[in-house]
Amino acid sequence: MPKGVWLVQQGVWAMTLESMPLAAGYLKATALQEPRIARETDIRIHNFDGGVSLFEMANSLFRDGAPDVLAFSVLGWNYHAFGALAETFKQINPDGWVVFGGNHVSHQAERVFGTFPDVDVVVNGEGEFTFRELLLANLDGRSTDALHDIQGISFRADGGITTTEDRPRLENLDEIGSPVLTGSVPLLGDDGEFRYDVALLETNRGCPYKCSFCYWGGAVGQRVRAFSRERLRQEVEVFAQHKVHTIVLCDANFGMLPIDVEFIEDVIAIREKYGFPKSIETSWAKNKSKVFYKIVKMMKEAGLHSSFTLALQTLDDNTLDLMSRRNMKVNDWEELAEWLDREGMQCYAELIWGAPGETVESFIKGYDRLAAHVSRVAVYPMLILPNTTYHQDRKRFGLVTVRGDSDDFEYLVSHDTMSAADNQYMNQLIFFARLVAENPVFRTLWTPLRELGGVSQSQAIRSLMEWFEAAEDQASQPFRSGLEKAFTNPDVLGPVSEYTYGSRDARGALRRWWREAMLPLVPKESADLLNRVFEYDMLTLPVYTSPGREPSHEVVNESLPVEVIEGERFYVWHDAVLPCDAPTLAWSLKHGEPYDHVLGEWRTTMYYKVGAHHFVGSTNHEEIVYYSGRPARELFGRGQEGATA
């Protein structure tokens, strides 16, 4: 009988679709390149959803026994669960091997072995070939305390911990087996459809920067190495054949290398052949070179979508110095934001709250400066990750942290420039910023509110926070509960997001906030027009409902008809009458253009992509934007927008 080898992954979110197990796929595909392993082992991937309990995972894994080798891809959210599964495994198979690998445990052997005595081996760094050598050692019958010749691991030996020399980083990434081309990762579900929320793909590894908060697989400050064009083209073609809407590139700086242009050329050619993919999402190059601008132009001309990211993290100079990001041209970002806007390309920005050096005042000042250019701002609380500068120099910054209840991340309580009270207040502010600006509930409102109402984005978000904190009606309770838990429960956003998109009561509560708290703040002559823009955003929220229920639109009581357009299904609101052409109004205000012609009711056809329930609960803001109502002109061109009253 072949030896059983099980690779275990678990995603961070509870989702209706699986998260693609790319890391386990690389391990399996690379191991099976070795003929002996292919003959003598049975390698299986167990891919769990973030909402699956530890007890459910244990029963699923060990219902019919246990393997010979149990290997885990460990990250902060599954660290404790996987340690518990290792203990259960050893009760069933005391002689079996438990292997931990992944960013969260790399070079952390002393803590891992001290916390989980049933773990045998910790893999440090890139793991594909290390894992293959471990399997060969297991097939040879070797003991886990006699692995001294295998690079890049830590294990117990001679009464202590032995760590072997680091394995050199791979120069030829094509030596890694392809999970897609080898079939190591199943791509289709029982219904014959692509089974994952998005397709994951690496085009390169490594990052030339050394940001204080980042580890990036141990490849910070490293030369970037790329997979070959031919391999990537073949992988993208497989995804296109399976009608994958979005490919997410797991790269640190896509758009930095000339070969990235070749990749996009191939994606566009494949899309012309199959109609898919529709979108490429990634962490874009921090410093935008001629390569980046060329890629943006190519994608625009081909109709290939992306949310181009300004990964700024902070706009405060002192904080940037402590982050080791001051020298990045990414911080000269205004011209880039304006250029992307002129090109009509979607753009969003990222900030981190809680970095050493930051204060409430400096952060909100930077937030509003950024929001004046890019209203869709994703704000994340600072986490202290293993092996980072912040983790290693914590005393220098005065960090006070606490481990999560259900995960192993270190959450900031305070530091030298942030009190615990400041942190609690800002996490509540971030909760509403993520809910209505990042995801986004409000898409066109922010610019008119600022330009016509004199209200900044942070002022509006603070108003939301204060209004729902005081509201006592039942419809406001989920918002109030989310606000109360925002500081202590990082997962609270998902349920409130579902409530916001899926409940008329939630939208009613937002309308009451708008009437009672915001309209009194704006000039009387602008109130009616701003109210029209607010209603436009409410009417064009994604058509969302729980699976198995018919969607009910804000205005149309009966179910909307569904039409297939370029291979995708849309709910269609024919002969829609909207309060005004809010997108054109927002664009005109931002660019100082006349807007009188778009103030009246707007008649058009609105399209709402089917399937929003796959992404709402997971708060996947990169994907949910594709499900908001889109006027005909956005899908078919300017000649199809309908009449304007």
With cut-offs at 50, 70 and 90, classify the pLDDT of residue 555. Answer: low
Residues whose CB falls within 8 Å of the CB of residue 249, separated by 6 or more in sequence, listed in order: 201, 202, 203, 280, 281, 282, 283
**Is residue 36 located within the same domain as residue 158?**
yes
Least confident of 319-333, 415-429, 565-579: 319-333
**Is residue 98 located within the same domain as residue 130?**
yes
**Is residue 269 located within the same domain as residue 315?**
no
With cut-offs at 50, 70 and 90, classify the pLDDT of residue 639. Answer: very low
pLDDT in tens, 263-313: 999 999 999 999 999 999 999 988 888 999 999 999 999 999 888 888 899
Q: What is the pLDDT of residue 550?
A: 65
**Is residue 232 located within the same domain as residue 379?**
no
pLDDT in tens, 68-127: 999 999 999 999 999 999 999 999 999 999 999 999 999 999 999 999 999 999 999 999
Sheet holding 630-631, edge to edge: 562-565, 568-578, 602-609, 630-631
Q: Which of 306, 338, 363 is the last residue of a domain?
A: 306
**Is residue 132 located within the same domain as residue 20?**
yes
**Is residue 571 located within the same domain as residue 617?**
yes
Residues whose CB falls within 8 Å of the CB of residue 126, separated by 6 or more in sequence, listed in order: 152, 167, 169, 170, 205, 217, 218
Q: Which of 306, 332, 357 is the last residue of a domain?
A: 306
Helix (H) or strand (E) holding 246: strand 246-254
Query: 139 pLDDT exceeds 70?
Result: yes
**Token pair of 183 as six digits:** 């079939």
CATH number for the domain spanning 230: value is 3.30.750.210
CATH number for the domain spanning 344: value is 3.30.750.200
With cut-offs at 50, 70 and 90, classify the pLDDT of residue 128. Answer: very high
Residue 12 lies inside a defined structural domain of this protein: yes
Nearest Cα residue to 277 out of 230, 234, 241: 241
pLDDT in tens, 379-399: 989 999 999 999 999 999 999
**Is residue 202 located within the same domain as residue 233?**
yes
Residue 502 lies inside a defined structural domain of this protein: no
**Is residue 302 located within the same domain as residue 404?**
no
Q: What is the pLDDT of residue 619?
A: 64
* Total structural domains within the chain: 4
Q: Which of 348, 383, 418 is the last residue of a domain?
A: 418
**Is residue 302 located within the same domain as residue 315?**
no
Nearest Cα residue to 337 out of 298, 376, 381: 376
pLDDT in tens, 467-516: 999 999 999 999 999 999 988 777 788 889 989 988 889 999 999 999 99
The β-bridge relationship of strands 383-384 and 400-403 is: unpaired
Q: DSSP assignment of 284-330, as one string? A: E-SS--HHHHHHHHHHHHHT-B--EEEEEE---HHHHHHHT-TT-GG
pTM of the prediction?
Answer: 0.88
Query: 24 pLDDT exceeds 80?
Result: yes
**Is residue 581 located within the same domain as residue 631?**
yes
Residue 281 lies inside a defined structural domain of this protein: yes
Least confident of 192-196, 217-221, 433-437: 217-221
Question: What is the residue type of 234?
Answer: Q
With cut-offs at 50, 70 and 90, classify the pLDDT of residue 558. Answer: low
**Mean pLDDT of the region 348-370:** 95
Q: State whether the Cα torsion 210-341-442-303 is positive or negative.
A: negative
Residue 460 lies inside a defined structural domain of this protein: no
| 554 vs 611 pLDDT, higher one | 611
With cut-offs at 50, 70 and 90, classify the pLDDT of residue 405. Answer: confident
Q: What is the pLDDT of residue 464?
A: 96
- Domain membership of residue 635 as a residue range: 562-640
What are the Cα distances from residue 63, in Å, to 7, 60, 89, 295?
16, 6, 11, 50
With cut-offs at 50, 70 and 90, classify the pLDDT of residue 645. Answer: very low
pLDDT over 70 for what percent of the chain? 95
Helix (H) or strand (E) holding 215: none
Q: What is the pLDDT of residue 644?
A: 32
With cut-offs at 50, 70 and 90, classify the pLDDT of residue 641. Answer: very low
Residue 493 lies inside a defined structural domain of this protein: no
| 612 vs 248 pLDDT, higher one | 248
How many CB atoms are closer than 10 A to CB 520? Answer: 9
Round the average pLDDT of the chain to a whole number and report it.
Answer: 92
- Which residue(s) pair with 319 in the sheet? none
**Is residue 274 located within the same domain as residue 319?**
no
pLDDT in tens, 173-182: 999 999 999 9
CATH number for the domain spanning 17: value is 3.40.50.2300
Q: Can you tell me which residue has the tokens 């031919």? A: 230
- Which residue(s) pair with 418 in the sheet? 415
Residue 319 lies inside a defined structural domain of this protein: yes
pLDDT over 90 for what percent of the chain? 76
Residue 541 lies inside a defined structural domain of this protein: no
Least confident of 337-341, 375-379, 401-405, 503-507: 337-341
The β-bridge relationship of strands 69-73 and 199-201 is: unpaired
Residue 16 lies inside a defined structural domain of this protein: yes
Q: What is the pLDDT of residue 455?
A: 97
Query: 234 pLDDT exceeds 70?
Result: yes
Q: State whether the Cα torsion 184-189-193-199 is positive or negative.
A: negative
What are the Cα distances from residue 591, in Å, to 339, 351, 435, 450?
12, 25, 27, 13
The β-bridge relationship of strands 160-163 and 153-157 is: antiparallel
292 vs 547: CA distance, rounded Å: 39
**Is residue 113 located within the same domain as residue 232?**
no
Length of the chain: 645
